Amino acid sequence: MTTAKATKPSSKQKLFDAALRLIGERGAAGVTVDQIAATAGVAKGTVYYNFGSKDGLVEALLRHGVDLLAEQLRRAEAVPDTESSVETLVDGALLFFGEYPEFAQLLVSEMWRTPGQFHGTLSLLRDDIVAIVKRVLQRHADAGRLCGVEVGTASAALFGTLLVVALDWQTFQRQRTREEVRESVMLLVRGMGRGQGKR
Amino acid sequence: MTTAKATKPSSKQKLFDAALRLIGERGAAGVTVDQIAATAGVAKGTVYYNFGSKDGLVEALLRHGVDLLAEQLRRAEAVPDTESSVETLVDGALLFFGEYPEFAQLLVSEMWRTPGQFHGTLSLLRDDIVAIVKRVLQRHADAGRLCGVEVGTASAALFGTLLVVALDWQTFQRQRTREEVRESVMLLVRGMGRGQGKR
Amino acid sequence: MTTAKATKPSSKQKLFDAALRLIGERGAAGVTVDQIAATAGVAKGTVYYNFGSKDGLVEALLRHGVDLLAEQLRRAEAVPDTESSVETLVDGALLFFGEYPEFAQLLVSEMWRTPGQFHGTLSLLRDDIVAIVKRVLQRHADAGRLCGVEVGTASAALFGTLLVVALDWQTFQRQRTREEVRESVMLLVRGMGRGQGKR
Amino acid sequence: MTTAKATKPSSKQKLFDAALRLIGERGAAGVTVDQIAATAGVAKGTVYYNFGSKDGLVEALLRHGVDLLAEQLRRAEAVPDTESSVETLVDGALLFFGEYPEFAQLLVSEMWRTPGQFHGTLSLLRDDIVAIVKRVLQRHADAGRLCGVEVGTASAALFGTLLVVALDWQTFQRQRTREEVRESVMLLVRGMGRGQGKR
DNA sequence: GATGAATGAGGATTCATTCAT
DNA sequence: AATGAATGAATCCTCATTCAT
């Protein structure tokens, strides 16, 4: 979401930054192209020159953001120890959402909108992410640590929970450290692994 | 969200029902007042006569929905057994979100919008809900069942997770029964109560 | 414009008072029937019950106001002395506009609107007033005091000038007394009577 | 109010011309933005692009018109002979109002609306105009030609009278020449200068 | 590669009027 | 004689998009 180097940011990059902030705050439908262009410091026409349309910008933004998130999460797959790998996954997600809270806002407000205009794009992207989570949790399951819950279900739930926990952290409880938040989530994950006695 | 009796529903009630459905599906910004009025079977002016503005309608809707949810959740407070009371709480939330999935969508897409137009209203409403959850979980904590997590934090996390789980249930896994979903969540709750050291 | 006695004012009267104030301040088009009814302390339907329409109310108001003004001005006709009669006329107009400045505002903003909705009514009413002025000025002219100006022209000009002078008095220079203002106008009137040498 | 050269008039200019005509005829509240845009031959959005709102257009129009009027009146200040300078002032006002009778209608219907939306703007503009009139009349007063009237009062009255006389001329007596009308007004001005005792 | 004036379909809002009570 | 909930045509305003420069 930011340029890697200190080179003068391109129009595309400036628009990404501006759009991410504004759309995260007010929702895709609540932001005008004028506002995005003004915040980015470019002319309105530049949006159309670079992205073709407002929706084009939003979709590019979603794709770009999910790419970054996936990249971050994939690091967990490389961790050999099963428990540590889940922890790395959780930590990576929190790291990403902590750096780009607007992206979490964008995701959460579009993710469950049944016929939303970005639903198609989002479904694919969500599947990418959940697949990564699933691969990590599968090892957890193979180690017998996921009794009674189907891996796919658990992965989807974990991703959703990560999203809202990160948002709550950024919105209502900024004073907490990432380590604390990560431990809360791990508590839940470990709960899923407990032998489930009735009551 | 529906009239209690079989009396002819008032304009306000008809508008609530219509707005809840449409706004839940497409988001507040994605629905026009014309559409809401048409769906409710009243004239557009009636929206303004009764709610003053589109935003007024949305705010009234949020308040009304949260009232219903709170009413549902408060029943858990009356349950004497601690474990059962949490179960009643979880079940009540799922019952409510299962009946009004559109409301869950509305909540999730507006709840974490930092300077959003409904953020003020929603913050208050969220506090109401979290307070109820907190009172129930407090008893859990008093019983020594909530080791290592602060009650407020746990309550917020539980509410967020309930929201997301309910949405995932309604959006991607409708075939599951409420009992199954409730058990998954209880697994997490029990996990929070598992005694365990650092890491 | 007010009830003669201390009896409880009728709905009609309350509506007259409210309408006069609001329309004088904001213009006929700038005031809603709701506002008039609310200010009058009656229900909106009462306007339609009593006057048939908003325009009906405005026209009734114009007619009523002009009647009062005409009544006031006609007193000047009864004054025997020519000079005094003009003075009485001027004083009467200022007295009336001083008491009902809103009516002056209403008149001035509708009087010269070529195809205005009240232009028909206003033309007739204006003719009534100008006719009275004319009868008074005619005596002035007969006495040789109006050299070089046609009586009709002078009457129209005098009425218009009275209107704007009264408005300026009420709007920008309330500290002046009616006597002062009257004297300024009389100065002009006497000017019209001066033998007109070139330069 | 019209372009100085034969260059293609800008959107702003076309809107000024159209708005002046329509608003003068029917009042600011009686004209729709659609009508103004259609008359100007531009799209409705162009009004909002250039003036922000309907009120913005009206205010710009008032300012622009008053500028033109002030420019016209200031020429009288340059005339050395006192009597001639007043005559030039009167003639300039009549020339302007004769060319833009709609502007006179706009002024007269908004000028004395106490809390009107344009009252702030108009007060300032009125002061500009009256100040010019005052400077011209001051010389008249210095020459002992303004006995018994305060210059400020006389200036305000003269401006108001000019307005009304011009409107009456344009509305009810178009056959009269500007010279005739100017002479009638000068008669009044000379009247103000006539030495005379009380009553 | 970028601009920004202009557009016009679409959406929020107002308000005079109606009518059942 | 009076009311006020409901209406919908009319209006103001927004904003994604286009295009000439």
**pLDDT score at D191:** 63
Buried b (16+ CB within 10 A) or exposed e, C120-149: ebbeebbeebbebbbbbbbbbbeeebbeeb
pLDDT above 90 (res A189): no
Average pLDDT over residues A74-101: 93
How high is the mean pLDDT in each 10-residue block of chain D (199 residues)? Answer: 59 92 83 95 96 93 90 94 91 93 84 74 87 91 75 82 87 85 80 47
Max mean pLDDT range (A5-14, B152-161, C129-138):
C129-138
Judging contacts by C-beta atoms under 8 Å, the chain A residues touching residue B105 are 112-114
Whether the CB of C199 is below 8 Å from some CB of chain D: the reply is yes
List the domain range (segments joined by +) for residue B105.
58-193
Q: Cβ of C171 and D105 within 8 Å?
A: no
CB pairs under 8 A between C and D: 139
Counted domains in chain C: 2
Q: Is residue D39 part of a domain?
A: yes
* Residue A36 identity: I
Structure-model confidence comparison of residues C199 and D126, the more confident one: D126
Query: What's the CATH code of the domain at D32?
Result: 1.10.10.60
Same domain, D12 and D78: no
Tokens 């996936």, residue located: A70
**pLDDT score at C123:** 81
Judging contacts by C-beta atoms under 8 Å, the chain B residues touching residue A21 are none
Cβ–Cβ under 8 Å, residues C123 and C65: no
* Closest chain B CA to residue A196: B187
Please give, rounded to a whole number of angstroms, the shortest distance from the CA of A7 to a CA of chain B: 31
Q: Is residue C139 part of a domain?
A: yes
Q: How far is CA C125 from CA B135, C110, C130, C136, C160, in A?
A: 75, 12, 9, 17, 14
Provide DSSP, B127-142: HHHHHHHHHHHHHHHH
User: Could you give the angle at the alpha carbon of B18 between the alpha carbons of B14 and B19, nearest 5°?
Assistant: 115
d(CA C101, CA C95): 10
Phi/psi of residue C59, each to 5°?
A: -65, -45
- C residues 132-161 lying closer than 8 A (beta carbon) to D: 148-149, 153, 156-157, 160-161
Q: Is residue D19 part of a domain?
A: yes
d(CA B20, CA B4): 17
Q: Is residue C13 part of a domain?
A: yes
- Any strand E atom closer than 7 Å to C55 CB: yes
Same domain, D186 and D158: yes
Whether the CB of D27 is below 8 Å from some CB of chain C: the reply is yes
Q: Is residue D116 part of a domain?
A: yes
Same domain, D45 and D93: no
d(CA C130, CA C145): 19
Which of B188, B192, B198 to mutate: most A Cβ within 10 Å? B188
Judging contacts by C-beta atoms under 8 Å, the chain A residues touching residue B114 are 25, 105, 171
Q: Give the HSE-up count for residue B100: Cα atoms under 13 Å, Cβ half-sphere.
A: 27
pLDDT above 90 (res A47): yes
**Which of A105, A156, A193 is closest, CB to CB, to B113?**
A105
Contact partners for chain D, using 3 or more CB pairs closer than 8 A, are C
* Distance F16 C1' – A119 CA (angstroms): 20
**pLDDT score at D189:** 74
Q: How far is CA D44 from CA A177, C165, D62, in A?
A: 53, 39, 20
Same domain, C45 and C129: no
Judging contacts by C-beta atoms under 8 Å, the chain B residues touching residue A191 are 187-194
Q: Is residue A4 part of a domain?
A: no
pLDDT in tens, B106-141: 888 888 876 667 777 888 888 899 999 999 989 888
Phi/psi of residue A144, each to 5°?
A: 75, 20
Mean predicted lDDT score pLDDT of chain C: 84
d(CA B82, CA B76): 10
Same domain, A60 and A26: no
**pLDDT score at D196:** 42
**Which of B30, B149, B164 is closest, CB to CB, to A29?**
B30
How high is the mean pLDDT in each 10-residue block of chain B (199 residues)? Answer: 59 91 83 95 96 93 90 94 92 93 85 74 87 92 76 83 87 85 81 48
Mean predicted lDDT score pLDDT of chain A: 85
Greatest Cα pair distance, chain D, in angstroms, is 62
* Residue B151 identity: V
pLDDT above 60 (res C132): yes
pLDDT bin (cut points 50, 70, 90) of residue C196 is very low
pLDDT bin (cut points 50, 70, 90) of residue C70 is very high
d(CA C178, CA D143): 28
**pLDDT score at A16:** 93
Query: What's the CATH code of the domain at B92?
Result: 1.10.357.10
**pLDDT score at D3:** 42
Helices (H), chain D: 11-26, 33-40, 44-51, 54-78, 82-99, 101-110, 119-142, 151-172, 178-193
pLDDT in tens, C15-62: 999 998 898 888 888 899 999 999 999 999 999 999 999 999 999 998
Same domain, A63 and A147: yes
Contacts of C19 (CB under 8 A, 6+ apart): C31, C36, C40, C57, C58, C61
Q: Report which of D48, A97, A7, A32 is spatially closest to residue A40, judged by C-alpha positions.
A: A32
Same domain, D117 and D169: yes
**pLDDT score at D195:** 44
Q: Is residue B4 part of a domain?
A: no
For residue A196, give the 3-state DSSP assignment. Answer: coil
Average pLDDT over residues C80-104: 91
d(CA B135, CA B159): 13
Same domain, B48 and B112: no
